[in-house]
């Protein structure tokens, strides 16, 4: 579920992002994608989203493997295709290491860019 | 996921697990074989590398397939072996037993996953601790199952390994179902990482729409760079369970990349920084060990040959199905030939020629198919070095095992059934036959006794001899024990008849019952098991010199070449392998000895077996001079079978009549002939027994 805090959209990802749990993540992600797409229908909101990108919060992820990385990358690319450039935040070290180890450093690395703030 | 999909996935997973189980068992067998070969001295580099490679492969496969518990022992074992390879700690003979024990524990874990067998955690903990203890002796404090916390590569050896570094580019495009198969990609990368410095880059093949995306389908390909002293085969071996050749491209770009043989770490290089500008925050992942640096030598132990790579694994049930179908084809071909035999050969010349061609093709096909089931007897023999080593140590005896004819092939079904009888026989050799060194020395023998396992193909049978140079069977003691057990005996019994007494149920001459033998449940079981597969057991023994137990088995249990013969209205099949010749006897050559008919041939009197009498058949040919005698030979014993007529030489498919009817004495089964009739296949050995009765 996404939540707005001072105009900031936060998309928390949680639970099992390994082969055992990836299928269960899909409905939540599709829901987030639809919700974001709807909220970005106006030009004004798109401008704000570009300046104040949604944050995808990874602190709740318990398990992550290659299938999870693939799903995460697909989700982020889908957001990007809809004009949203999200940021990955609150990434636990273990998850960071796993992403790098599985070779998704470049695929997901661009989403770690310096945070921008909508003033 | 639906229940049906889940079941399909489970089946797929089981299939891949099965491959791992088989490979793992092979690695364990190989490790044991090398360890046993080492027992007399220190291993050479190749042997050590091979043991290491086996442990390493098991660990890798176990990790990939999610059998994490199996990686615990293998990890400590691998670490210890690596320290020995790096000459950080010396190899000691005690390590042979330790490694064998570790192999047993891994086997136990394997059986646990494969067969649901009981797994003793105590044994796992104990061997892990023991291995760790050996590993710690040199003061390095690595911990059990902690990934390489004891970095074993000393500065000089690392420099050595870097001297021959290669830079590889790998492109790994896995099967889309790799996730469903339960393959853990990170484990593959960890294995690679152990070979050297690794960088990994994953790319999505396409960006699917999330709503229609199946996250269980792998849509990724990986580009990897590995700097390692390992060879290309070592890299491919890591992927052996998960990628075909076209799914893994490996390029050695050492020269084209002008890769400098430097000892500077490559990780975090400028090149990599440019590739992934935003991941500087990620911790660098360093390669840990440069394994297998000396395994480039041709013929190195454990290296897979090109031949092995070109083989495939097929389930036994599929092979059996194929054999059955070919058996049916043989019968159909025989029926066709019989039908065509009634047609004019001139008018139907083409048909006759085609049928002959079909017969040849069927025979070739049948031989090819039968050969699929053949496996070398070394599969059985290879289990004995370990057993003999341990039993000899337990009994305080010195024993040398020699094997002859290891490559002799026999049917897989026979291999499975002959293993237990052979084990009994070898245990008996050690416990009863071979003497202790002092007894042997006082008898003028060498202190070390010898057990010879010898296999060969003789005619249509496989002969396996178990020979020892021990004390030989004790005739007086056997007779005395037989008498005690109420078995009828006489002092005039031939040695051969006396030796047969040890096959009586519960018969044992052992003074004491031990955990090895002496309960008298051995030889009768041996005989029964061997007889159940159409085999025979004979014994030859000489006091003070030793004993030879010979097991004779049919080459195959499925098809045999036979001669069909007629008696009255009945047809029988005699195995061609036991036939010497056939003849029509003259009155002068026939005699009677003690009321039994014999025929004189080349100065030899040969007993005549009248099948019509044995099987109570009606026929007009009741005297030898009116019929035909077929001379047969079984293990040097000859007899002449009286038949009405010789009909045809043919290949027959052996069918069990016991399954549908009952055992018929004197027969080895039945077959269906070309005219659809059933003919009994004669067991000539049991005909001899019937005649004696």
Q: What are the pLDDT digits (tens) for B594-614?
A: 888 899 988 888 999 999 988
Flag if A107 and B203 touch (Cβ within 8 Å).
yes
Residue of A nearest to B190 (CA): A101
For residue B611, give both structure tokens. 């099948």
Flag if B210 and A78 touch (Cβ within 8 Å).
yes
Average pLDDT over residues B218-223: 92
Residue B205, min C-alpha distance to chain A (Å): 10
Flag if A26 and B185 touch (Cβ within 8 Å).
no
Instruction: Tell me the three-class secondary structure of B164-215, residue by residue.
Output: CCEEEEEEECCCCCCCCCCCCHHHHHHHHHHHEEEEEEEEECCCCCHHHCCC
Q: Which of A92-101, B77-86, B371-380, B550-559 has the lowest mean pLDDT?
A: B550-559
Flag if B186 and A93 touch (Cβ within 8 Å).
no
Residue A66, min C-alpha distance to chain B (Å): 7
Flag if B276 and A105 touch (Cβ within 8 Å).
yes
- Number of CB atoms found within 10 A of residue A71's CB: 24
Query: Phi and psi (nearest 5°) for B189?
Result: -70, -35
**pLDDT at B582 exceeding the cut of 60:** yes
Interface test with B, best of A27, A64, A66 (most B CBs within 10 A): A66
- Across the interface, of A22, A102, A112, the residue whose CB is closest to B278 is A112
- Residue closest to B385 by CA, chosen among B24, B40, B98, B21: B40
**pLDDT at A56 exceeding the cut of 80:** yes
| pLDDT per position as a tens digit, B505-524 | 767 655 544 444 544 446 87
**pLDDT at B277 exceeding the cut of 90:** no
Interface test with B, best of A20, A23, A106, A112 (most B CBs within 10 A): A106
Average pLDDT over residues B76-89: 83
Supply the DSSP symbol for B574: E
| pLDDT per position as a tens digit, B663-680 | 788 888 888 887 778 899
Residue of A nearest to B198 (CA): A101
Residues in A touching B179 (Cβ below 8 Å): 19, 66-67
User: A104 and B221 in contact (C-beta within 8 Å)?
Assistant: no
For residue B43, give both structure tokens. 């291993």
Flag if A109 and B277 touch (Cβ within 8 Å).
yes
Average pLDDT over residues A44-70: 82
First to last CA, chain B: 68
Average pLDDT over residues B453-459: 85
| pLDDT per position as a tens digit, B140-179 | 433 333 333 333 333 333 334 444 678 889 999 998 888 8
Give the pLDDT confidence score for residue A49 in this predicted structure.
Answer: 59
The secondary structure of chain A in percent helix, strand, coil, rounded to multiples of 5, reads 50, 20, 30
Give the pLDDT confidence score for residue B6 in this predicted structure.
Answer: 54
Residue of A nearest to B181 (CA): A19
Residues on A contacting B at a C-beta cutoff of 8 Å? 19, 22-23, 25-26, 29-30, 33, 65-67, 69-71, 73-75, 77-78, 81, 93, 96-107, 109-110, 112-113
User: Of residues B390 and A114, which shows the higher confidence score?
Assistant: B390
Q: Which of B47-56, B278-287, B428-437 has the lowest mean pLDDT?
A: B278-287
Give the pLDDT confidence score for residue B144 in this predicted structure.
Answer: 34
Give the pLDDT confidence score for residue A73 in this predicted structure.
Answer: 93
| pLDDT per position as a tens digit, B95-154 | 888 888 899 899 899 988 888 888 888 888 888 888 888 877 654 433 333 333 333 333
Give the pLDDT confidence score for residue A16 in this predicted structure.
Answer: 92
Give the pLDDT confidence score for residue B649 in this predicted structure.
Answer: 86
Residue A85, min C-alpha distance to chain B (Å): 15
CA B68 from chain centre, in angstroms, equals 27
Residues on B contacting A at a C-beta cutoff of 8 Å? 1, 179-180, 182, 184-186, 189, 200-204, 207-211, 213, 215-216, 218-220, 222-224, 275-279, 281-283, 285
In this prediction the ipTM stands at 0.87
Residues in B touching A63 (Cβ below 8 Å): none
d(CA B666, CA B434): 37
| Whole-number percent of chain B with pLDDT over 90 | 17
User: Of residues B660 and B228, which shows the higher confidence score?
Assistant: B228
Residue A4, min C-alpha distance to chain B (Å): 23
First to last CA, chain A: 25
Residues in A touching B222 (Cβ below 8 Å): 103
| pLDDT per position as a tens digit, A66-92 | 999 999 999 998 988 888 888 888 888
| pLDDT per position as a tens digit, B401-455 | 999 998 888 888 788 888 888 988 998 899 888 999 999 999 999 999 999 999 9
Residues in B touching A69 (Cβ below 8 Å): 202
d(CA B262, CA B256): 16
Residue B141, min C-alpha distance to chain A (Å): 25
- Number of CB atoms found within 10 A of residue B204's CB: 16
d(CA B194, CA B151): 11
- Residue closest to B533 by CA, chosen among B423, B411, B638: B411
pLDDT band, residue B275 (cuts 50/70/90): very low
d(CA B687, CA B693): 10
Give the pLDDT confidence score for residue B439 in this predicted structure.
Answer: 92
Q: Is B585 helix (H, G, I), strand (E, B) or coil?
A: coil
Flag if B202 and A103 touch (Cβ within 8 Å).
yes
d(CA B578, CA A41): 92
Average pLDDT over chain B, rounded to an integer: 78
Residues in A touching B219 (Cβ below 8 Å): 70, 74
User: A84 and A37 in contact (C-beta within 8 Å)?
Assistant: no
Instruction: Report in angstroms the alpha-carbon separations of B420 from A88, B355, B508.
Output: 63, 44, 18
Most confident of B116-120, B307-311, B537-541: B537-541
Flag if A74 and B204 touch (Cβ within 8 Å).
yes
Give the pLDDT confidence score for residue A40 in this predicted structure.
Answer: 64
Angle at B62 between CA B56 and CA B63, to 5 degrees: 90
Residues in A touching B281 (Cβ below 8 Å): 96, 112
């Amino acid at each position: 579920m996404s939540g707005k805090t001072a105009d900031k959209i936060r998309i928390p990802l949680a639970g099992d992002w390994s082969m055992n749990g990836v299928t269960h993540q899909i409905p939540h992600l599709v829901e987030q994608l639809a919700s974001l797409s709807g909220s970005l229908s106006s030009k004004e909101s798109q401008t704000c989203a570009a300046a104040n990108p949604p944050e995808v919060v990874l602190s709740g992820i318990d398990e992550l493997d290659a299938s999870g990385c693939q799903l995460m990358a697909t989700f982020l690319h889908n957001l990007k295709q809809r004009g949203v450039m999200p940021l990955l935040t609150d990434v636990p070290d273990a998850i960071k290491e796993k992403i790098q180890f599985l070779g998704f450093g470049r695929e997901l690395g661009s989403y770690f860019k310096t945070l921008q703030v909508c003033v | 996921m639906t229940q049906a999909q889940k079941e399909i996935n489970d089946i797929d997973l089981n299939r891949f697990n099965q491959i791992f189980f088989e490979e793992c068992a092979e690695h364990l067998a190989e490790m044991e074989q090398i360890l046993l070969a080492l027992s007399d001295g220190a291993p050479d580099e190749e042997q050590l590398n091979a043991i290491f490679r086996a442990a390493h492969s098991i660990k890798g496969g176990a990790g990939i397939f999610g059998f994490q518990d199996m990686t615990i022992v293998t990890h400590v074992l691998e670490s210890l072996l690596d320290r020995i390879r790096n000459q950080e700690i010396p190899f000691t003979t005690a390590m042979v037993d330790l490694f064998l024990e570790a192999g047993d524990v891994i086997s136990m874990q394997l059986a646990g996953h494969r067969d649901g067998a009981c797994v003793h955690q105590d044994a796992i903990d104990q061997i892990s601790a023991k291995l760790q203890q050996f590993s710690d002796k040199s003061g390095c404090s690595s911990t059990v199952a902690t990934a390489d916390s004891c970095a074993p590569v000393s500065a000089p050896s690392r420099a050595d390994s870097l001297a021959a570094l290669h830079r590889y580019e790998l492109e790994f495009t896995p099967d889309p179902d790799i996730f469903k198969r339960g393959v853990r990609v990170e484990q593959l990368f960890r294995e690679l990482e152990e070979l050297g410095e690794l960088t990994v880059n994953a790319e999505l093949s396409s960006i699917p729409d999330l709503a229609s995306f199946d996250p269980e389908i792998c849509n990724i390909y990986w580009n990897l760079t590995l700097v390692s002293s390992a060879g290309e085969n070592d890299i491919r071996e890591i992927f052996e369970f998960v990628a075909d050749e076209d799914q893994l491209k490996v390029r050695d770009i050492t020269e084209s990349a002008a890769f400098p043989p430097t000892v500077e770490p490559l990780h975090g290089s400028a090149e990599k920084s440019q590739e992934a500008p935003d991941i500087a925050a990620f911790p660098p992942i360093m390669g840990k060990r440069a394994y297998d640096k000396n395994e480039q030598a041709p013929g190195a132990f454990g290296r897979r040959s090109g031949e092995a790579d070109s083989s495939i694994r097929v389930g036994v049930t599929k092979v059996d199905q194929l054999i059955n179908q070919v058996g049916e084809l043989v019968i159909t071909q025989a029926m066709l030939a019989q039908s065509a035999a009634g047609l004019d050969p001139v008018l139907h010349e083409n048909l006759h020629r085609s049928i002959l061609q079909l017969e040849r093709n069927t025979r070739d096909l049948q031989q090819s198919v039968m050969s699929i089931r053949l496996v070398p007897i070394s599969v059985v023999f290879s289990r004995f070095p370990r057993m003999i080593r341990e039993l000899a140590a337990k009994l305080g005896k010195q024993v040398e095992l020699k094997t002859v004819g290891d490559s002799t092939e026999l049917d897989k079904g026979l291999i499975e059934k002959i293993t237990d009888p052979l084990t009994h026989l070898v245990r008996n050799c050690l416990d009863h036959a071979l003497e202790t060194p002092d007894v042997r020395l006082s008898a003028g023998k060498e202190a070390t006794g010898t057990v010879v396992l010898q296999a060969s193909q003789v005619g249509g049978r496989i002969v396996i001899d178990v020979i020892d140079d021990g004390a030989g069977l004790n005739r007086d003691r056997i007779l005395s024990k037989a008498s005690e057990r109420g078995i009828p005996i006489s002092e005039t019994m031939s040695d051969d008849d006396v030796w047969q007494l040890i096959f009586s149920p519960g018969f044992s001459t052992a003074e004491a019952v031990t955990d090895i033998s002496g309960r008298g449940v051995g030889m009768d079981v041996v005989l029964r098991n061997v007889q159940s597969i159409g085999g025979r057991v004979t014994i030859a023994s000489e006091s003070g010199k030793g004993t030879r137990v010979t097991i004779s088995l049919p080459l195959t249990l499925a098809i045999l070449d036979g001669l069909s013969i007629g008696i009255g209205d009945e047809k029988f099949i005699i195995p061609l392998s036991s036939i010497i010749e056939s003849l029509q006897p003259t009155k002068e050559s026939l005699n009677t000895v003690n009321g039994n008919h014999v025929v004189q041939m080349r100065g030899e009197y040969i007993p005549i077996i009248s099948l019509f009498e044995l099987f109570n058949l009606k026929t007009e040919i009741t005297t030898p001079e009116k019929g035909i005698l077929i001379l047969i030979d079984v293990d040097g014993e000859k007899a002449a079978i009286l038949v009405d007529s010789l009909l045809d030489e043919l290949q027959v498919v052996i069918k069990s009549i016991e399954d549908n009817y009952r055992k018929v004495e004197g027969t080895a089964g039945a077959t269906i002939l070309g005219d659809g009739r059933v003919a009994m296949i004669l067991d000539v050995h049991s005909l001899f027994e019937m005649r004696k009765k």
